Amino acid sequence: MRLPRDDWTAARATAGVSGGVHFHDLRHTGNTLASSAGASTRELMTRMGHSKTRAALIYQHMTSDRDQHIAGKLGEMIRQARQARQARQEGASGT
């Protein structure tokens, strides 16, 4: 009888992935990527089959690319606010 672990070990060898990578790591990676792609907590819960938010929150890591995206959006909001303020000031002064 072939065990699921044997299948995982064979798949790792075929893919050239060394030991230390566990099958559950695929679930973690998949859900972390789904979170980075914009999946909500509820969507992650559905993907994982969980009824509590705690498990889904584990996968919502802060990644550097996500951090850069957030910083970019904040910067854009600041630029827009400055432009709006400048336009109001110019309109008030009649220039």
Domain that holds residue 4: 1-61
DSSP helix/strand/coil, 17: coil
41 and 10 within one domain: yes
Residues 6+ positions from 60 with CB-CB distance below 8 Å: 35, 41, 44
**47 lies in the same domain as 78:** no
pLDDT band at residue 91 using 50, 70 and 90 as cut-offs:
confident
DSSP 9: H
Say yes or no: 56 and 71 in one domain. Answer: no
pTM over 0.85: no
Q: How many CA atoms lie within 13 A of 25 on its CB side?
A: 8
Q: In this predicted model, what pLDDT tens digit does every residue of 60-79 receive, in sequence order? A: 766 667 778 888 999 999 99
Distance CA 10, CA 17 (A): 10
28 and 5 fall within a common domain: yes
d(CA 30, CA 8): 17
d(CA 2, CA 66): 41
Could you tell me if 38 and 69 lie in one domain?
no
Single-letter code of the amino acid located at 93: S
Give tens-digit pLDDT for 10-46. 889 999 988 788 888 888 888 888 888 888 889 989 9
| Structure tokens belonging to residue 84 | 């709006």
pLDDT at 2 over 80: no
